[in-house]
Amino acid sequence: MTALLRTVLAALTAALVISTPTASAAAACSTDPATPKRQFRAIWISSVANIDWPSRTGLSVSAQQTEFRAWLDLAVAKRMNAVVVQIRPTADAFWPSPYEPWSQWLTGTQGGNPGYDPLAFMVREAHARNLEFHAWFNPYRIANHDDPTRLVSSHPARQNPGWRFAYGGKLYYNPGIPAVRDFIEDAIMDAVSRYDVDGVHLDDYFYPYPVSGQSIPDSATYQQYGSGFSNIGDWRRNNVNLLVRELDQRIHTAKPHVSFGVSPFGIWRNAGTDPLGSRTSGLQSYDAIYADSRQWVKQGWVDYIAPQIYWHIGFSTAAYEVLTAWWSDVVRDTGVQLVVGQAAYRAGASGQEAAWQDPNELSDHLHDNRRHPEIVGDVYFSAKDVKADRIGAITRLVGAHYTKPALPPARGSAAAPAAPVITSATQGSNGVQLSWTGSGTSYAVYRVAGTPSTADPCFFADARNLVGTTRQTTFTDTTASGTQTYYVTALNRTHQESAPSPGKVAGSSGGSFSVVIDNAGSGFAASANWGTSTYSTQLHGTDYRFADPVAASDPAWFQAAIPSAGSYRVEVWYPANSGYNSATPYIVAASGGNQTVNVDQRSGGGAWRTLGTYQLAAGTYNVVGVSRWTSTTGYVIADAVRITKV
């Protein structure tokens, strides 16, 4: 798929989303950057040399499966939504491949049958937890040694000795041979076509990383296949480009919903070499391993790029913040998503720079990411380092950035499913048990306190009300307390989201009451002295009202139809600004007489703020007012009110 086509599709998708009333209204909502609605969150689970899984060779089937389930449960506990699992680490397979032998990292013997189909098992278990499964392939590496006689006799690299070369003590497939490229693609496509994977992922190993004093032994291959290229470097880069481009085409022809991504070395080229490069001075993957990762993005040959930015903020050779800015600029307007590869293995590890002994370093990386809307998430190397949580770095990161679940970023332009319908919401001994009907691949469950009469689009603008996701049509909320209203949305395979279901109140027939009155609605009234503004992004709905303070009675009123006398919680929403009033009087028309609460509107905006719980009479009347009568300076703001029976 070309970059132009991806850009057009992205624009069309955006237009379709914005055209819906719910999305349009949600666009005006204030969102919390700490609880983004969509974010790719993944861990790399590495199998080569038994880095992560299996922990060692020769484990029983049940022990291997128990270990893998534990990695998935770790991902869920850290509120991840994807795993990237290495299933072809050294020209071998974690599935019964007709092209390559069983991986030695399973049984200890290359070609040894592990007694089950690990890939089928892993995909099934990941999906049961609503984790995306991205299948990770190393394209060219044959072995971490250079002795072909140690390969199983049926290995294609032994059957075709001309396909391989030794370099730096390892064996590699020769990327310059067209038959090799076809073979690698066929081996990868076997897994794609036969298994329900969500993504295909290549790592950073293309041509071998340079070894001092050694040259890649492919000059004869260049002589045979390099016509049209004036130098061997351009030819090598083209060989890798062909693999990436052809895989992109083949994957999306077979399964359009499958995402294709590459995780290259973090530096493409340095600006000192190429004005298009980054302000860095490290190894250049374009020149050293012949990976033209910038072109893959610009040509739209990948759905996402996940550069391994494994350096700390302020690092003189390759600063994290320099590279996030550079990669953000590269992907901008291409339709390619940017995911950052994070060095969890460095946090708190002995021998690392002082910056990596700071438990805030990784968390600070995600704070930096917030400056770049092009960055849609992160993937952490590797699973065992996430689990180790040295110096509490992962705990710190999760506490600052992953307090809520997140939906994966949407891909492509498929139509969203129809809205589900919740059939029951029952309070049980272990929480609220929900059931619904729907046609989604997965579902998102939202919970809102009280009993709102309508689904405010702002309920769904970020993840603050998102309590979980599932591929089932049932869900148990074990964290609910008090009266809650639930909404469910359906998502398709590429994560386009439906409109929300009608709300369902837990454990009741829906007779409770909650209402939101916005300043733009019919229940609001104010004199001509109140202006209208859209200045603040923290506004509720489409705009808000403001007025100068005066020593006179000129309140803006929010009218509501209170169904019965009783106790009601009153909440207010306003955008905050340092120039707004520090003691704005809110008037509540309680049944025992008006009650006034002064609110500092310089802070605490963009969210519901409780004034208190009051006895209200039944009837339709002005329930809450915002007064201008205050001696403090700064605009007084009237935006929205929520009234909920308790």
Do residue 532 and residue 481 come from a single domain?
no
Do residue 480 and residue 573 come from a single domain?
no
Q: Can you tell me the distance from the alpha carbon of 142 to that of 104, in angstroms, rounded to the nearest whole number? A: 12
Residue 296: DSSP 8-state: H
| 19 inside domain | no
**Bridge-based pairing state of the strands 170-173 and 164-167:** antiparallel
Q: pLDDT-based confidence at 185, cuts 50/70/90?
A: very high
pLDDT tens per residue, range 630-639: 999 999 999 9
> What's the confidence (pLDDT) of residue 450?
87
Residue 407 has pLDDT above 60, yes or no: yes
Range of the domain at 506: 421-512
Rounded to a whole number of angstroms, the distance between the first and last alpha carbons of the chain is 55
Enumerate the β-bridge partners of residue 173.
164
pLDDT tens per residue, range 493-535: 999 999 999 999 985 444 467 788 989 888 899 999 999 998 8
The count of structural domains within the chain is: 3
Specify the CATH number for the domain of residue 564. 2.60.120.260
- Residue 526: name the closest of 550, 574, 561, 559 by CA: 559
> What's the confidence (pLDDT) of residue 6?
47
Which contiguous run of DSSP H or E holds residue 69? helix 61-77
Do residue 526 and residue 392 come from a single domain?
no
pLDDT tens per residue, range 128-146: 999 999 999 999 999 999 9
Rounded mean pLDDT, 149-166: 98
Q: Token digits for 30?
A: 């204030």
Rounded mean pLDDT, 99-126: 98
| 12 inside domain | no
> What's the confidence (pLDDT) of residue 521?
84
Q: pLDDT-based confidence at 19, cuts 50/70/90?
A: very low
**Bridge-based pairing state of the strands 304-305 and 337-342:** parallel
pLDDT tens per residue, range 279-305: 999 999 999 999 999 999 999 999 999
> What's the confidence (pLDDT) of residue 509?
40
531: three-class secondary structure by DSSP: strand
> What's the confidence (pLDDT) of residue 314?
98
> What's the confidence (pLDDT) of residue 542?
82
| 5 inside domain | no
Enumerate the β-bridge partners of residue 442.
491
Q: Can you tell me the distance from the alpha carbon of 106 to that of 83, in angstroms, rounded to the nearest whole number? A: 19
Q: What is the pTM of this model?
A: 0.77
> What's the confidence (pLDDT) of residue 508?
42
Do residue 492 and residue 519 come from a single domain?
no
pLDDT tens per residue, range 327-374: 999 999 999 999 999 999 999 999 999 999 999 999 999 999 999 999
Contact 380, 44 (CB under 8 A): yes
- By percentage, how much of the chain surpasses pLDDT 70? 95
Do residue 548 and residue 476 come from a single domain?
no
Do residue 559 and residue 599 come from a single domain?
yes
Do residue 523 and residue 493 come from a single domain?
no
Q: Can you tell me the distance from the alpha carbon of 381 to that of 265, in angstroms, rounded to the nearest whole number? A: 13
Q: Which of 190-204, 355-369, 504-518, 578-592 is predicted with the least confidence, judged by mean pLDDT?
A: 504-518
Residue 14 has pLDDT above 80, yes or no: no
pLDDT tens per residue, range 34-74: 999 999 999 999 999 999 999 999 999 999 999 999 999 99
Do residue 388 and residue 536 come from a single domain?
no
Q: Token digits for 620?
A: 């339709």
Q: pLDDT-based confidence at 214, cuts 50/70/90?
A: very high
Residue 432 has pLDDT above 50, yes or no: yes
Please count the other Cβ atoms lying within 10 Å of the Cβ belonging to residue 113.
11
Do residue 492 and residue 607 come from a single domain?
no
Lookup result for tokens 């039944």: 618
Q: What angle do CA 232, 234, 239 make, to 5 degrees?
A: 90
